[in-house]
Amino acid sequence: MRPGGDLRRSLGPAQVVAAGVSCIVGAGIYLSLGDLVAPLGPFVVFAFVLAGLACGLTALSYARFASRFPEAGSAFSYVRQGYGLRAGWMTGWALVLEYTVGAGAVVGLWSYLIEKELGWPQPIVILISMTVVTGLVIAGVELWSWITLSLVVLKVGTLLLFCALAAVGPAADGPLSYGFTPGEFLRVAGMAIFSFLGFESVSTLAQETRNPKRDMPVGILGSLLLATLLYVAVAGLYVRVTPQADWGSANPLAGALCRLGYAGLRPVVTGSVVVGLSTVAMAMVVGQTRILYAMARAGLGPAAFGEVHPRFGTPWKGTLAVAFAVTGLALAAPGNLLYRVAIVGTLSVFTAVALAGASRWLAWPAAAINLALMAGLGWEAWTATAIWMGIGWFTYKEQR
């Protein structure tokens, strides 16, 4: 293991759960809900349940690994323990699709919303927001976690407010007319995975948690359960109060509240969306940098990614590299493609972790569900993922 300094243990259970919720609750429920509801109608709640089940089966493996091996590398460290360095390297390579590409998609959505609502140019929003995110992440995980905890209260509170108002508001008029095939249902459930993207990012903080054997399972499983229940409630109530013609809205929750007569809350909801997406982006950058840190310390990848800032105790060079990559993707790549590539990469990692860490009765159902959800995500996402993984295979170097 290369020298570079150890990460600082400063996180407690509340901060760990908040970190999980901060990464989960974001783009998938705030901006993509309309796209998920449009083909399925009220059956979208079952798509969220299936996506939550896929994540839950994998979460059991993550929780088991994170408590036994409190390291910063998440799935990279776990698969390396089970199958060796090359398998760990390929898993770490796939994690780039989840965290860096996923963060690029989130920042792109975030900046698009701000441009639409406030008229600020999207490239300027991306550059300013990523500068702020990078500074907060480098400044220290404890500062970041407390800021995240405060913002989580705001964005979850907004979703609960929506649920309360939608529950007592009038139901939408008009008959419902929709139909879908099993393939369409699986496609939507696969897209719903984006709503849970990064739940396992909690495991990347194991080396910075004061009591990882207790706090890691609580953080991973607790944040996933809370998010699943919240998603089912929000999706079901959104369908209840929204006419079918408006299901595909680009800003679904704000639009639903306006139709209920709460147009004055639109700025609050929009602000909460921006806050929600910012915490997701921060959590993804934190997760990616900790994975690169673990890979560098294991002798894989640039040694600079394993160096820790002498004052802040964070892997600052890796953070700068990740921030640069996320900014470039958000500026240049099509958001819809980033969205689907991140999901394919995520489900690939989930499958690897489930097979590496769980008993047979748990591993194979998890792998089967993940592969079924991956199947409907489009050839473009599969092609981009295959090219990326091929590059990873041929560039693997075991550095002794």
Per-residue pLDDT at 212 exceeds 80: no
The DSSP call for residue 170 is P
Nearest to 281 by CA among 1, 23, 21, 19: 23
Per-residue pLDDT at 199 exceeds 70: yes
Confidence band (pLDDT; 50, 70, 90) for 72?
A: low
Confidence band (pLDDT; 50, 70, 90) for 2?
A: very low
Q: According to the model, what pLDDT value does residue 400 have? A: 44
Per-residue pLDDT at 352 exceeds 90: no
Per-residue pLDDT at 28 exceeds 60: yes
Query: Coil, strand or helix: which one is 186?
Result: helix
Tokens of 228: 């699943």
Q: Which residue has the higher pLDDT, 84 or 8?
A: 84
Angle (CA) 217 221 223, round 5°? 115
Q: Say which range, 38-42, 113-117, 184-188, has the weakest mean pLDDT.
A: 113-117
Domain ranges of the chain: 13-391
CA 164 to mean position of chain CA atoms: 26
CATH number of 13-391: 1.20.1740.10
Nearest to 317 by CA among 1, 2, 4, 3: 4
| Residue tagged 């099993």 (tokens) | 182
> Mean pLDDT, to the nearest integer, of 177-185?
84
Q: Can you say whether the dihedral through the CA atoms of 305, 5, 18, 231 is positive or negative?
A: positive
Q: Say which range, 58-72, 172-186, 234-248, has the weakest mean pLDDT.
A: 58-72
Nearest to 104 by CA among 342, 379, 275: 342
* CB-CB contact of 81 with 203 (8 Å): no
pLDDT in tens, 123-144: 999 999 999 989 988 887 666 6
Residues 6+ apart with CB under 8 A from 341: 97, 101, 381, 384, 385, 388
Other C-beta atoms lying within 10 Å of the C-beta of residue 114 = 22
Average pLDDT, the chain: 84
* CB-CB contact of 59 with 224 (8 Å): yes
Highest mean pLDDT (candidates 129-143, 183-197, 264-278): 183-197
- pTM for the full model? 0.85
pLDDT in tens, 244-254: 888 888 789 98
Tokens of 353: 């972790």
Q: According to the model, what pLDDT value does residue 176 have? A: 75
Confidence band (pLDDT; 50, 70, 90) for 110?
A: confident
* CB-CB contact of 283 with 19 (8 Å): yes
Q: According to the model, what pLDDT value does residue 314 have? A: 86
Tokens of 205: 């903080």
Q: According to the model, what pLDDT value does residue 101 have? A: 93
Per-residue pLDDT at 35 exceeds 50: yes
pLDDT in tens, 284-300: 898 899 889 888 888 88
Confidence band (pLDDT; 50, 70, 90) for 206?
A: low
Query: Coil, strand or helix: which one is 368?
Result: helix
Q: What is the dihedral of CA 118, 124, 126, 130, to 10 degrees?
A: -120
Nearest to 238 by CA among 166, 179, 173, 165: 166
Q: According to the model, what pLDDT value does residue 359 have? A: 64
> Mean pLDDT, to the nearest integer, of 352-365?
75
The percent of residues above 70 in pLDDT, for the chain, comes to 88
> Mean pLDDT, to the nearest integer, of 153-168?
90
Query: Coil, strand or helix: which one is 50?
Result: helix
Confidence band (pLDDT; 50, 70, 90) for 398?
A: low
Q: According to the model, what pLDDT value does residue 358 have? A: 57
Confidence band (pLDDT; 50, 70, 90) for 357?
A: low
> Mean pLDDT, to the nearest integer, of 50-79?
78
pLDDT in tens, 314-350: 899 999 999 999 999 999 988 888 988 999 998 988 8
